[in-house]
Amino acid sequence: MFLKKLYLILLPAILIIALPAFMRPGPSPKSPASMPDCPVIDYSNRVIKRPDCGKSNGSITGIIVTSTGTKITYEWRDEDGNIMGHAADLLNIPAGIYTLTVTDNSGCTAMISTPSFKVLNLNAVTIDDSRIVIKNSSCKNDGAISGITGANASTYTWVNTATNTTISVSHTTADISNLAPGHYQLTASNNSCQDTKDYYVNTSIILPEITSHNVTDAPCGGNGNITVTLRVSPQQPRVISSFQDMKTGTHLYDGIITADIPNPVLTTAAPKGTYGFYVEDPSGCAVLLSTYTVRGDTSYVDKLNSVLTNDRCNQHLGSIVPALVGISGPTVFYKWYKSKGVGKLPDSLISQNKVLTRVGAGLYRLSAGIKGSLECMTSGYFTIIDNSPDLPPPIAKGTTICVPGMINITVTNTDTSKLFRLYDSPTSETPIDSSRNGIFYRNVDQTADFYVARVVNHCESDRTEVTETVVASFKRPNAFTPNGDGINDFWDLEGIDKFPGADVTVFTRNGQQIYHSVNYAVPFDGTYNGTKLPAGVYYYIIDLKQPICYGKISGSLTIIR
């Protein structure tokens, strides 16, 4: 009985000790010994959605993070370290490998990450060549490739990479036979995905190895060169080598290769075309080791080494000395055109000399070639610019006059300039005056802007704006008809309201003042003390209370009855 009671007393302690470490009660959160809890990632119920091939419609969802913190931060990265998302669910992703890292504000310093999740393409195609069998070929083209399978593949396509031609398409098997020695590429595919691998079928005979080659392009109407360097094994049997035109089958070179010369160098002259390098064993089995293309029509206009002189100030001082590659001799012709733009024809023929001289800024096209040969022709474009000196604009200041009249605009920095032009707008093409001493005289009746440019040879500087100010630019009619018809019954000084305090006085011929007003609040109506003044000529003085105009504005006024 005593033992049973003791067991019941000790049972809670025994159960606590038996618990895993992460389930045992820890110290109080207020205890100094307390440590922050790190977030826990539960990815056991993750759901991976595969994307379609070439699309970003995959996802990883269903991951749950438990944390004692109040803020959880998610960071998804791909296999290259690029950040892909900041939420528990990773959406809109392509196929790849992704890892989630979680942090919180609990004070945990450890990096809490998931394992890497591999997201494969939906219905992805994979070529399995673990059981491949490659049969080498003799000259009878009896090579074969078998044993390859493709997961999810519905079509198998073989391409001969040397000729870039499709040699087999099958919907059932990747096996292929009747192959010549060479390089072949298999593409296994379905409606949305594909996988590609390369395979080689070697020759069953002992062949020399090509270690290097060099091809020189053929000049216009001439021959290029093909040079091949080989490595020959000690077991190399005697074989015949040849360069053959792939189009006509013509042999350009035949030679013998044996083990006596371990590193033979074979070369042949060849016009433009594609040539195969073959070796043939004593049984007559010929194998194509490689193909080489000699490019022709290499003539061109060498703009880098051509000499071009730009124009200055539209004086037509430009010139072009062309450099040609692949074209030379006494039968070469040259035709220069003033072009409307690259590819825009027709152009204007301007010269048939080799060197183009005395031309202005513009685009020029050279057509050159050998007379009687349509193949030996080339062309090139050149651009000549107007490399004009940077002329400083003239210095000139405007003046202020009281009433309309003659003004002068004077350029102060004449320097070595020979000509100045005066314009009435910043964009007008035709000047209104020109001067060799930089002084212009103009009649102005109101405030106006003028523009002055410096001219040297055919170069013109930027234009300097000069404002000529007319202070009294208000209207001053020299007559009016105060006859009561409601038309022109008052002396209308339109615009005088711009001059506060303006003093207006009207006199008779004898100097008698008959009208006076400040600010011209009540216009002059042709009366004096209520009596109509007789028709005739009267005189006025207007003081605008402006320093430059003080006592200067006067004139005659006619009353017409």
Residues of the chain with pLDDT > 70, as a percent, come to: 93
User: Is-same-fold flag (126-201; 479-559)?
Assistant: yes
What pLDDT score was predicted for residue 298? 67
Looking at the predicted structure, is the pLDDT value of residue 2 above 70? no
* Residues 6+ positions from 116 with CB-CB distance below 8 Å: 79, 97, 98, 99
Structure-block tokens of residue 431: 């000047």
Structure-block tokens of residue 16: 């606590």
Model pLDDT for residues 480-501, shown as the tens digit of each residue: 999 989 999 999 999 898 889 9
What pLDDT score was predicted for residue 1? 43
Model pLDDT for residues 144-170, shown as the tens digit of each residue: 999 999 989 999 999 999 899 999 999
Which residue matches tokens 């006199």? Answer: 507
Model pLDDT for residues 337-352, shown as the tens digit of each residue: 999 888 777 788 999 9
* Residues 6+ positions from 335 with CB-CB distance below 8 Å: 349, 351, 352, 366, 367, 368
What pLDDT score was predicted for residue 204? 73
H/E segment holding residue 9: helix 2-18
Please tell me the number of Cα atoms within 13 Å of 220 on its side-chain side. Answer: 23
CATH architecture entry for 479-559: Sandwich (2.60)
Which residue matches tokens 């945990």? Answer: 108
What is the rounded distance in angstroms from the CA atom of residue 499 to the CA atom of residue 505? 15
The top-level CATH class assigned to 209-294 is mainly beta
Q: For residue 8, what pLDDT band results from cuts at 50, 70 and 90?
A: very low
Model pLDDT for residues 12-68, shown as the tens digit of each residue: 444 344 444 333 444 433 333 345 689 999 999 999 999 988 889 999 999 999 998
- Give the residue from 316, 320, 252, 238 showing the smallest Cα distance to 284: 238
The DSSP letter of residue 547 is G
What pLDDT score was predicted for residue 341? 84
Task: Say if strands 464-470 and 400-401 run parallel, antiparallel, or are unpaired.
Answer: parallel
What pLDDT score was predicted for residue 29? 39
Task: Say if strands 464-470 and 448-456 run parallel, antiparallel, or are unpaired.
Answer: antiparallel
CATH architecture entry for 300-384: Sandwich (2.60)
DSSP string, 16-44: HHHS-GGGS----TTSTT--PPPPEEE-T
Q: For residue 297, what pLDDT band results from cuts at 50, 70 and 90?
A: low
CATH architecture entry for 126-201: Sandwich (2.60)
Instruction: Summarize the confidence of residues 386-396 as an average pLDDT.
Output: 87
Q: Of 92-106, 176-190, 244-258, where does mean pLDDT reach its minimum?
A: 244-258
**Which conformational region is residue 313 in: left (phi greater than 0), alpha (psi within -120 to 50 degrees), or beta?**
left
Looking at the predicted structure, is the pLDDT value of residue 432 above 70? yes
What pLDDT score was predicted for residue 69? 86
* Residues 6+ positions from 386 with CB-CB distance below 8 Å: 310, 311, 312, 313, 314, 360, 361
Residues of the chain with pLDDT > 90, as a percent, come to: 58
- Mean pLDDT over each residue of the chain, to the nearest integer: 87
What pLDDT score was predicted for residue 4? 45
Q: Is residue 534 packed enough to be buried (19+ CB in 10 Å), middle (13-18) or exposed (0-12)?
A: exposed
Looking at the predicted structure, is the pLDDT value of residue 423 above 60? yes
Instruction: Summarize the confidence of residues 442-456 as an average pLDDT.
Output: 91
More confident residue, 389 or 183: 183
The residues spanned by each domain of the chain are 40-119, 126-201, 209-294, 300-384, 400-470, 479-559
Strand-by-strand arrangement of the 47-49 sheet: 47-49, 58-61, 90-93
Q: For residue 206, what pLDDT band results from cuts at 50, 70 and 90?
A: confident
More confident residue, 113 or 547: 113
CATH domain 40-119 topology: Immunoglobulin-like (2.60.40)
Q: For residue 6, what pLDDT band results from cuts at 50, 70 and 90?
A: very low
Task: Say if strands 553-559 and 479-480 run parallel, antiparallel, or are unpaired.
Answer: parallel
